[in-house]
Amino acid sequence: MREFGREERVGAEMQRELASLLRNEARDPRLRQVTVQEVRVARDLSHARVFFSLLEHQQPAEIEAVLRKAAGFLRRRLAETLMLRTVPMLHFEYDHSFETGMRLSGLIDQAIAQESSHSTAEQDV
């Protein structure tokens, strides 16, 4: 079994802290609808890609811009809680995996429905 590297441990801790900060300390109410899905930290801990999704159907580009504006505040608060020499620069990216999964699930359901109606029609003949 593979041990977690330092960047994975830092990413997991950053994910927990960012979720807490967005939920409890963000002034912009739109940021309370953000769910932090994953944080991928570079090996040298200089940059972190923060993948997020939204609880309500909002414009991801608009929320991404708000998160970029709040990055300085979030990074400063992370520096206060994490025991790191330097806190990685935060880069926010919208996570499309949930939407993709829902679309694929819909396509699968549609294919099953078509197959069952097609087999029912063959049995009637």
Q: What CATH class has 6-94?
A: alpha beta
Q: What's this model's pTM, rounded to 2 decimal places?
A: 0.76
Predicted pLDDT at 38: 94
Q: Please state the domain extents for the chain.
A: 6-94, 96-125
Whether residue 107 contacts residue 49, with contact meaning beta carbons closer than 8 Å, is answered with no
pLDDT values of the chain reduced to their tens digit, one per residue, 125 residues: 456 688 899 999 999 999 999 999 988 888 888 999 999 999 999 999 999 998 777 788 899 999 999 999 999 999 999 988 889 999 999 987 777 777 788 888 888 888 877 666 666 55
The residue type found at 80 is E
In single-letter form, the type of residue at position 40 comes to R
- The confidence score (pLDDT) of residue 120 equals 65
Q: How would you label 67-103 residue by residue, b for 16+ Cβ within 10 Å and e otherwise? A: beebeeebbebbeeeeeeeebbebebebbeeeeeeee
